[in-house]
Chain A
Amino acid sequence: MIATVVEWKTLGESVLYSLVGGIGVTTAFSIAIAGATRSYELARDGRRSHATAYGVLAGVAVLVCLAAISVGIYYTTKKT
């Protein structure tokens, strides 16, 4: 009975999107914070090249977060 009542494919996709989106955004944002913090500390210690590399990492991670959020909002407005 359960198998016919529940749209398992849709439910499964919803679960997958939730897991990937939620975990992905938090992970990317954590990398952004870690990158920015390390970049600041290294710049303060005069290690410019390493600081730049961490700064770039932070920037890319922020872009990933923004892209994920944009995709999330886009797909919410788009018909299934």
Chain B
Amino acid sequence: MSNDIVLVIVVATALLFDFTNGFHDTANVVATSISTRAMPPRLAVLFAALLNFAGAFISIKVAATVAKGIVDAGAVTPTVVFAGLVGAIAWNLITWWYGLPSSSSHALIGGMIGATLAAAGASAVSADGVFGKVVIPALVAPTVAFLTAAVSILLAYRIIGRLRPGPVSNGFRIGQVASGGLLALAHGTNDAQKTMGVITLALIANGNLPEGANPPTWVIVSAAAAIALGTYSGGWRIIRTMGMRIIKMDPAQGFAAQGAGAAVILASSHFGYPLSTTHVISGGVMGAGAAKRVSAVRWGVAGNMVTAWILTLPAAGGIGAAVYGITRLFGTGATGPIVVAILILVGLTVIFVRRVQRGSPITAEART
């Protein structure tokens, strides 16, 4: 009974994380389309939400690899998963508050690592797995997106160079609707699977599914719905950073950045790499800007983002470990997760009430 209560809390927390993932990473999908005026903000997030939902059904390869080879499955209990998720949610909310496009994927992996370390010690975490499946892709993915977008925009400028800018910009704006759609689909494919993977991990840990099982249909549908709802809610603070504060984009650059991002995410989804869509799109945006003029990129903003990326794993891990420690203060039963879940709900309610009282500082309408 106690285990089932913890499992229900874990599933609810995983779906909350998925919501914050969509909400936090909306910027990755829509920021370039909004900043170049390819689409109105509300329509852009609705479009992205629908394609995020559809994308979640395309593949479950990343779901199978999200924590595999990084933490010892034998050490993972539902309470460990819960603590890891809380670490990830907390880091997502902190970075959202400061408008920093950090990685939800790394927050999730960091949270899981921290909670596992606290629960079972260092031997339960594979340094090789962290290096090979997290650190290397984190270095390679944004670099490849940067190079792809940079080469793409240089070729595009060469091809369209002497043509009248009006029709060319309109053409790229139309193209951005398609490339933005592809990006949203890729985002749903890659990111919704992480939540599916975590819920499946908890179900396996609780004995509801056999080892190595694929996510059940209800897990796929609920994860798809949660990320789509989060995306529709729109994280306007991060959209502003991604769409306007890194570079001032023209439609061709927006198209090149989105095309590069979608290509990298789809390719890595094909090979089962759980990479960060945030890192990829940020790399694409910077590449599209730097290829035109290196000084066009606001490197100070980019530096803040990279700092947040570096901090993500240890910060989410630290919170995950602390949350696991707090739950253990109440013993090994369901009391600890229940207390922490209540505290989270109270915290979210306070944030929501304060935001309603102050009025939303950054909205779709107040984006420019």
Contacts and interface: CB of A to CB of B under 8 A. Distances in A.
A21 interface: yes
B136 interface: yes
Interface in B252-310: 252, 255-256, 259-260, 262-264, 266-273
Given A14-B271, A19-B144, A73-B266, A37 B255 contact: no
Given A26-B256, A79-B61, A33 B172 contact: yes
B191 to A, nearest CB: 14
Given A26-B255, A27-B156, A34-B163, A77 B58 contact: yes
Contacts, number: 134
Q: How large is the interface on A (under 10, 10 to 19, 20 to 34, 35 or more residues)?
A: 35 or more
B156 A26 contact: yes
Contacts of A17: 263, 267, 270
Contacts of B186: 76
A22 B148 contact: yes
B65 to A, nearest CB: 11
A10 to B, nearest CB: 5
A34 B318 CA distance: 52
B151 interface: yes
Q: How large is the interface on B (under 10, 10 to 19, 20 to 34, 35 or more residues)?
A: 35 or more
A27 B167 contact: no
B41 to A, nearest CB: 24
B168 interface: yes
B81 interface: no
Interface of A: 1-2, 4-7, 10-11, 13-15, 17-19, 21-23, 25-27, 29-34, 36-38, 40, 65, 69, 72-73, 75-80
Interface of B: 58-59, 61, 128, 131-132, 136-137, 140, 144-145, 147-149, 151-153, 155-156, 159-160, 163-164, 167-168, 171-172, 175, 178-179, 182, 185-186, 189, 252, 255-256, 259-260, 262-264, 266-273
